[in-house]
Copies of this chain bind each other. A is one copy, B any other.
Amino acid sequence: MPARGDHDARRRDVSEAVWRVLADRGFGGLTLRAVAAEMNASTGLLTHYFPSKKALIAYALDVADERTANRPRQTTPEPGLEGLRTALLDVLPLTPEAAAMNRVWVSSWDGSLADPELGAREKDRYEAWRSRLRPHVEAARNDGDLPPDTDIDEVTATVAAFTHGIVVQALFDPDRFPPTRQTTLLNNLLHSLAALA
């Protein structure tokens, strides 16, 4: 039993170190050496966990998925326009923690575009995200908060794309895209989409 506990504790240490490297240097800076240095451990110990660079990257994506799934969020209200707004605000880099998380995901795109397996995983991740947004768009239309002829898939893709784009602009230019402006831009977009309702 103590051995098990040690194992779990060490695993948490590894996850924590991987995350710090990603948040600081991105996937381009993710090496066994960098993770080992974060843990004050030897590169040899890390080789035991990650026999290849690919294994380290796959693990890092698991860590990112887990952190993303467990991140603090605003309570999402009932499905509808407010639920959509909240779900999108929960993605935007409005806090340092959310900025770090987005920075990790944006930095993952280089490797994912170069590797068919990772690319398929990312594709599925974004389709799953749109699937979580879709019921909000549908409810908003049914509530009369979006026009009756709203195409659910199209509006969902539009707000998802907009959100990703704001993430990128805000990561590179946080002074021009502070949290208040990100929020205003989102509110105005939703207002425009609702304009003909």
Q: Does A17 contact B (CB under 8 A)?
A: no
Task: Tell me the A124-166 residues at the B interface (CB within 8 Å).
Answer: 126-127, 151, 154, 157-158, 160-166
Inter-chain contact B162/A158, CB cutoff 8 Å: yes
Let me know if A193 is at the binding interface, CB within 8 A. yes
- The answer for the CA separation of A107 and B111 in the assembled complex, in Å, is 8
Q: What is the interface residue range for chain A against chain B? A: 35 or more
Contact A25-B114, Cβ < 8 Å, known A169-B161, A173-B127: yes
Contact digits for A166-196, partner B, Cβ 8 Å, 1 yes 0 no: 1011011100110000001100110011011
Distance in angstroms between the alpha carbons of A172 and B130 in the assembled complex: 14
> Per DSSP, are chain A's interface residues mostly helix, strand or loop, or mixed?
helix
Q: Which B residues touch A185, using CB under 8 A?
A: 154, 157-158, 161
Known contacts A113-B26, A113-B106: does B158 contact A164 (CB below 8 Å)?
no
Q: Please give, as numbers and ranges, the residues of chain B lying within 8 Å of A195 by CB-CB distance.
A: 192, 195-196
Q: How far is the CA of A24 from the CA of B25 in the complex (A)?
A: 23
Contacts A26-B113, A106-B110 given; does A157 touch B172 at CB 8 Å: no
Question: Is A106's CB under 8 angstroms from B107's CB?
Answer: no
Which residues of chain B are within 8 angstroms of A168 by Cβ–Cβ distance? 109, 161, 164-165
Oligomer copy total: 2
User: Which residues of A approach B to under 8 Å, CB–CB?
Assistant: 24-29, 103, 106-114, 119, 122-123, 126-127, 151, 154, 157-158, 160-166, 168-169, 171-173, 176-177, 184-185, 188-189, 192-193, 195-196
Closest 3 CB pairs of A and B: A161-B165, A164-B165, A165-B165
19 intermolecular pairs with C-beta atoms under 8 Å apart: A26-B110, A26-B114, A28-B28, A29-B114, A106-B110, A106-B113, A107-B109, A107-B110, A108-B110, A110-B111, A123-B173, A126-B173, A157-B185, A158-B162, A161-B165, A161-B185, A165-B165, A192-B193, A192-B195
